[in-house]
Structure 1
Amino acid sequence: MTSAAQPSHAPLQIAITTGEPAGVGPELTVQALAGAAAHWPDAQFTVLGDAALLAARAQAVGVDWAALSGPGHNRVRVQHEPLGVPSQAGKLDAANGRYVLNLLDSAIDGALAGQFDGIVTAPLQKSTINDAGVPFTGHTEYLAERTHTPHVVMMLAGTGQRPLRVALATTHLPLKDVAAALTIGSIVETLRIIDHDLRHHFGLPAPRILVTGLNPHAGENGYLGHEEIDVIAPALQQANGAGIDARGPYPADTLFQPRYLTEADCVLAMFHDQGLPVLKYATFGEGINVTLGLPIIRTSVDHGTALDLAGTGRADAGSLIAAIDTAVSMARHRRAA
Structure 2
Amino acid sequence: MAVPAASAGLPPVMTCGEPAGVGPEIAARAWDSLRAELPFAWIGDPAHLPAGTPVREIETPAEAADVAAEALPVLLHPFPGAAVPGCPDPANAAEVIAVIARAVELAQSGAAGGIVTAPINKKALRDGAGFAYPGHTEFLAALAGVERVVMMLACEALRVVPTTIHIPLSVVARELTPELLAETILITDAALRRDFGIASPRLAVAGLNPHAGEGGAMGREETDWIAPMLEDMRSDGLSLAGPLPADTMFHPEARARYDAAICMYHDQALIPIKTLDFARGVNVTLGLPFIRTSPDHGTAFDIAGKGVADIRSTVEALRLAGRMARTRAEA
> What's the Cα RMSD here?
2.2
Q: Offset at 1:50? A: 1.3
2:120 partner amino acid = L
Comparing 71-80 with 102-111, greater Cα deviation is found at 71-80
Q: Offset at 1:11? A: 5.4
Counterparts of 1:70 and 1:102, CA distance in 2: 18
Q: What does the per-residue CA deviation read over 1:37-77, in whole Å, with 9 as the maximum and x for residues that have no partner? A: 4422xxx42211112112xx153xxxx423x6589953353
* Compared CA separation, residues 30 and 205, structure 1 to 2 (3 A): same
Counterparts of 1:84 and 1:218, CA distance in 2: 53
* Compared CA separation, residues 70 and 31, structure 1 to 2 (3 A): farther
Where does residue 5 of structure 1 map in the other structure?
A: none
CA contact (8 A) 2:119 2:297 kept: yes
Counterparts of 1:309 and 1:324, CA distance in 2: 22
Counterparts of 1:69 and 1:29, CA distance in 2: 15
Counterparts of 1:225 and 1:99, CA distance in 2: 48
The percentage of counterpart residues that share the same residue type is 44
Q: What does the per-residue CA deviation read over 1:131-177, in whole Å, with 9 as the maximum and x for residues that have no partner? A: 23222212222222221112211000112xxx311111122223233
Unaligned 5+ segments in structure 2 are 1-5
Counterparts of 2:287 and 2:51, CA distance in 1: 34
Where does residue 33 of structure 1 map in the other structure?
A: 31
Counterparts of 2:76 and 2:224, CA distance in 1: 52
2:239 equivalent to 1:239: no
Where does residue 245 of structure 2 map in the other structure?
A: 251
Pick one of 102, 105, 111 that aligns with 1:115: 111
Pick one of 78, 93, 101 that aligns with 2:74: 78
Unaligned 5+ segments in structure 1 are 1-7
1:173 alignment partner, SS class: coil
Q: How does 1:14-29 map to 2 (within 5 A)?
A: 14-29=12-27
2:105 partner amino acid = D
2:67 partner amino acid = N
2:54 equivalent to 1:65: yes
2:300 alignment partner, SS class: coil
Comparing 289-298 with 215-224, greater Cα deviation is found at 215-224
Pick one of 93, 96, 101 that aligns with 1:100: 96
2:45 equivalent to 1:47: no
Number of aligned residue pairs: give it. 317
Q: Offset at 1:10? A: 9.6
2:119 equivalent to 1:144: no
CA contact (8 A) 1:285 1:303 kept: no
1:39 partner amino acid = E
Counterparts of 2:92 and 2:205, CA distance in 1: 40
CA contact (8 A) 1:182 1:231 kept: no
Counterparts of 2:114 and 2:7, CA distance in 1: 17
Q: Offset at 1:84? A: 4.0
* Compared CA separation, residues 80 and 69, structure 1 to 2 (3 A): closer
Q: What's the TM-score, normalizing by structure 1?
A: 0.88
